[in-house]
Each structure stands twice: as structure tokens, then as C-alpha cells.
Structure 1
Amino acid sequence: MTVDTVAYLADFRTRYALPAIVDVHTHFMPDQVMRKVWAYFDAAGPLTGRPWPITYRDDEQVRLKTLRDFGVRAFTSLVYPHKPGMGEWLNSWTAEFAARTPDCLHTATFYPEPDAPRYVRAAIDAGARVFKVHIQVGAFSPLDPLLDPVWAILAEAGTPVLIHCGSGPAPGEFTGPGPISELLHRFPTLRLIIAHMGTPEYSEFLDLAEQYPQLFLDTTMVWTDFSEGGAPYPPAERDRLIRFGDRILFGSDFPNIPYPYAEAVNALERLDLGTEWIRNVCHNNAVALFDL
């Protein structure tokens, strides 16, 4: 797809009578962390497994302007620690970023460590509206006993947790629907957002959505040519995509995507699931979930 992304998205919003797009899966990080992430993608590390050119490798303010030019009204600053002692530092940065970026949903994170309940509670008290967990990068089990009080805090608060737990693009020791099924069994009121629709275990995560009405899924990278080449979405799940149209949220992975932003949106259009479905996924569902 070769188009002017700004023009395409302006036309898209007009055609669907959308006041804006809400993108629940975007990454803003401390500069030194973002550059390390980009270096990992450049090296096609084991968690990516394939060439992954970064399309929007720009300074922070340029990236913010780019999103706004795309018509994105609200977005996240997804961060994720990969070792102890990192989560609270990242939360300090995201709190400062949210304070100077009103259209960013105040984002936080955590790692299985004894201090996690304290700094998770502090983040919620400071206004965090969504948490990010990355099972692959963190290389930890969501069932780690150190996280039990954290999940209890989040379940009680009702704060959504966007969790990368599917086994794509490369499986990890703790990825897949099994641990998440057990986690929800223990904490059935947790509001989880399954990143990437659970790639590649799409059907299994939809099965969990059948059981848990507070489970959401985000569309990040799914149905794009890049994703379909390695983890095609099963056509047989089309009916359930329609049925769960009020619990699917648009996500892009901006800026760390190997194609123009327009492709993420056009991939949804190509599904041909109707105007209401598009409006809900790209705007209404997130507005309701986050009370925007």
C-alpha cells in the first residue's frame, strides 16, 4: 500500500465520521531506552526473528506531531522493564511524560520484585490509567508469586493492563494462553487487554474472551501484510470478531512498525466488517474503557 498516510487517514476519518483515532498501543520511552529498542530491532534479535525496519525513527517531538497529524486523539506510552529495579524508574518517566503530554494516557509498568506492589499502588495513586506488561521481553511468568499482590491491586482498582502474552513473533518460556487462563481464574475481574490479538494463538485468546467479559484485545500489527506473512489470522474467526466488536481496540505499535501507519488502519478496512465495527474499534471502545 503506497499512499500519503496523512491524506488517507483524514479521508478515513471522514468516511467513518470519526472525530479522531484512539491508539492504545504506542511506545514512548526514555530516549536511551528507545534507542536500545531500535538497536535490537535493527539487529533482528531473537524476539523478532526477521528484519524489522523502524518506519518512524524520529525525535520524540517529531513523533508526537506525526501521531497528531494522523488524527490520533489519545495514545499510550508503553514501557516495559526487563530486570529488577527498572519498573519504578520507568514509571517516574511515564508520569512526567504524561504531565507534559495531555493526549497521552498515563501509562505504567511493573516487574516481579518485592517492591512492585508499593510502586504499582503509587502509580495508580498518581493517575496511571493503563499498565503495560511484556511477558517475552521481561521473561517472567504472570503467575510469579511476587505478582499476586500486584494483580490483586490492579483487579480492585479496575485499571486496564495491556499485556503482550501471545507467542509471536517468537515464543517465550511463559507465553501463550495457558498462563493467562490461570491468571484470570485466580483474578477473574482483571481488565486485561491482549496485545496483538494474542498472535499467533488468536482462537485461544478469543476463547478466553468468551469466558471473561472484561477481557479486551488490541489489533496491533494484525491483518497487515507483514503479519499475515508469518501468522495469518484464521478466517473462521470472522464471526467472533464481529461478536466481540465492542471489546477490540485499535493499536499500531507506533513508532516501531516496519510499514507506514496507514497500513495498520487499511488492514482493518480490508476486513469489511462494517462501519459500526470500525468506529467502535478505532474510537468508541477505547473512549468508553478509558472514559475519554
Structure 2
Amino acid sequence: MKEAEVPGTRTGRPGALGDGDVPAWWQRLGLPGLIDIHTHFLPERMLRRVWAHFDEAGPLVGRPWPITYRTDQDSRLARLRQLGVRRFTALAYAHRPGMAADLTDFALDLAAAEPDCVPSATFYPEDGVLGQVESALHRGARVFKIHAQVGGFDLREPVLDPVWGLLADAAVPVVVHVGSGPVPRAGFTGPDKLEGVLRRHPGLTAVVAHLGTPEYGEFLALAEKFPRVHLDTTMAFTDFFEEVAPFPARLLPRLAEFTDRIVLGSDFPNIPYPYAHQLEALERLRYKEPRLDDDWLRAVCWANGERLIGT
């Protein structure tokens, strides 16, 4: 195995950050660690099916996507703790009816056993969805995840309207993958789908996954219109994403405008590079105009996540 393929090693690029360097990285910023709003833990059988789909570069992946942290759950938990990730999520998402309740049970059970895991939940547009979400909130869920691209549904489906209202009232964040990357799905992805929800529920705390790639500008415009819209950094600015969906330089000033609404996300463990590369990619923004400085990094990597999902 080449060095670049080994989790936690440097990638061979000059000055590249390795996983072993991460604690010193956040200590330099004066942080107590990292808060990551976009990590995945799934039942073992489902996770292996997800990995198989990535291995096949399936139609919703669109390109080779090797999994860096293909290890057992205990090893993945240990890796996050070695990195200094103090709070992380167990984001799951259903791709058909009848899955969401079991996935929520798994995620909440994990959080009960692992206190640094934020109680996480999911839902799907199906009969009984409102009751499922009410139950998850009653059991302590503090973040939800849905994936319109994989799930193949429109966020504006009528059955979801009372769910959005409930979550807006509860001020519980929902990480929403509705951008058209890595592969668009006509009728299900795009900023207009989320905007339709927000027009009815402007107080919803929506966290746009992957900075909304590739519709970066459109989702930043939604953040301007709706004060509870956040965006997570998941895979953004990494070499892997910049090859196919580079973040436009003209939009960098917008990231400075929304310092308090950009939050660290990684997609761990389903990433094709070491975790450290996400942080390295963010730090590289310090050398572009406008320079996103250490205060910006501190907000993204700790303060904003602390406000959304706690410590």
C-alpha cells in the first residue's frame, strides 16, 4: 500500500498535514479539540453495502471513491478520539420506506453508549414520519440527517411539511444533502427544493451538506435570505472535490460574511483521503483573498458546531 493510502500518514505533498499532526493543529488555534457535524456510523451490514456502492463507483457516486477508514466501529471511534474530535454525529439516511426508524434506533443507541457521539436521527417521506420524528426528539435527538439524492425524494413533499415545522420549532439542526453533487438527480436535488421548505418554515435550522456543491453560490444566497441556514465544509476545498467542482474564487468573500454559519464536516469514514486533509484544505484558505484567518477557523472548527450540537 502506498503511503498516500495509509490513514494518518502524510500524502507526499510538501507541507501536507497527516492525521498524527491534527492535535497540534487545533492546539495551535487555541481550541480544546474539534466538533464535526458530518460523520457517519451505520449498522455493520448497511455500512458494508454503502462501501460496496462506493467501490463500484455507483451511479450516485460517479467516480472512483476509495474508503480510507475501512475498519471496524471501535477502530473508527478510536480514530476520531485520537484526532481530538470531541463531538461527532452518527448520520444515517434511508433510501426507501421502512428504514428510517431502525436507523434512528441504531444512532441513538450508539450515542447512549458513546457520550461523545451526538444523539442523531433520520427520517423519510412515508406514513408515520411525524410520529417517528416526535419519538426521536423525545429520546433526545439533537441532529437529523436526510439525503435527497440517495433517498430520491423532494424535500417539499406534503407528508414532510409538519416534520419541518416540528424541527423548526424545536431548533434542532437538520443536515440536508440536497446539492446536485456528486451526481444530480432531476426532481430531487437543487437549491430550489430547500428554498421551498424554507419559505414555509423560515426558522428551520438547515445545515447544507458539502457547502451545497456544486451550487455553492445559490446555497450561500439562501443563507443570506434565511438566518438559520448553515453550510458544512464536508469535502469542500479538498483536492478530491476541487478536481471536479472547484469552489469559485469570487465566492470566497461570502465565506467571510457567514463566519458564524460555516461548520466543520468531514464525511468520515467515507472519505478517499486522510481526515487531516479536510483541515489542511480549510487552512489553505488563509493564503487566498480574502484571507480566512485563525478566527474563521476557530469558528468553523469549534464555536459554530458547539452552538448547533453542543459539547
1:279 aligns with 2:293: no
1:127 corresponds in structure 2 to 140
Unaligned runs of 5+ in 1: none
**Alignment deviations for residues 244-290 of structure 1 (CA, whole Å, 9 cap, x no partner):** 01100000000000011111000000000101000000011111222
2:162 corresponds in structure 1 to 149
Q: 1:265 aligns with which of 272, 279, 282?
A: 279
Offset at residue 116 of structure 1 (A) = 0.3
In the comparison of the two structures, how many residue pairs are matched? 292
1:198 aligns with 2:217: no
Q: What are the residue-to-residue correspondences of 1:34-73 with 2, within 5 Å?
A: 34-73=47-86
What's the RMSD between the two structures over aligned residues?
0.9
Judge conservation of contact 2:23–2:33 (CA < 8 Å) in 1. no
Cα distance in 2 for residues equivalent to 1:106 and 1:190: 19
Judge conservation of contact 2:17–2:280 (CA < 8 Å) in 1. no
2:24 corresponds in structure 1 to 11
2:181 corresponds in structure 1 to 168
User: Secondary structure of the residue that 2:88 maps to in structure 1?
Assistant: strand
**Alignment deviations for residues 53-105 of structure 1 (CA, whole Å, 9 cap, x no partner):** 00000000000000100110000001001111111111111111110010011
The AA in structure 2 aligned to 1:277 is W
**TM-score of the aligned structures, taking structure 2 as reference length:** 0.92
2:115 corresponds in structure 1 to 102
1:185 corresponds in structure 2 to 199
- In the superposition, relative to structure 1, how do residues 4 and 199 fare at CA in structure 2: closer, same or farther (>3 Å)? closer
Offset at residue 165 of structure 1 (A) = 0.5
The AA in structure 2 aligned to 1:276 is D
Identity %: 51
Judge conservation of contact 1:91–1:123 (CA < 8 Å) in 2. yes
Judge conservation of contact 2:237–2:281 (CA < 8 Å) in 1. yes
User: Secondary structure of the residue that 2:281 maps to in structure 1?
Assistant: helix
**Alignment deviations for residues 198-224 of structure 1 (CA, whole Å, 9 cap, x no partner):** 000000000000001110000000000
1:92 aligns with 2:120: no
Cα distance in 2 for residues equivalent to 1:270 and 1:45: 31
Cα distance in 1 for residues equivalent to 2:114 and 2:42: 13
User: Secondary structure of the residue that 2:259 maps to in structure 1?
Assistant: coil
Q: 1:240 aligns with which of 254, 264, 278?
A: 254
**TM-score of the aligned structures, taking structure 1 as reference length:** 0.98
- Runs in 1 of length 4+ with deviation above 2 angstroms? 1-7
**Alignment deviations for residues 139-169 of structure 1 (CA, whole Å, 9 cap, x no partner):** 0000111111111111111110000000000
1:158 corresponds in structure 2 to 171
The AA in structure 1 aligned to 2:309 is F
Judge conservation of contact 2:27–2:33 (CA < 8 Å) in 1. no
Cα distance in 1 for residues equivalent to 2:43 and 2:153: 23
2:243 corresponds in structure 1 to 229
Cα distance in 1 for residues equivalent to 2:294 and 2:124: 39
Offset at residue 11 of structure 1 (A) = 1.9
Offset at residue 4 of structure 1 (A) = 6.6
1:209 aligns with 2:223: yes
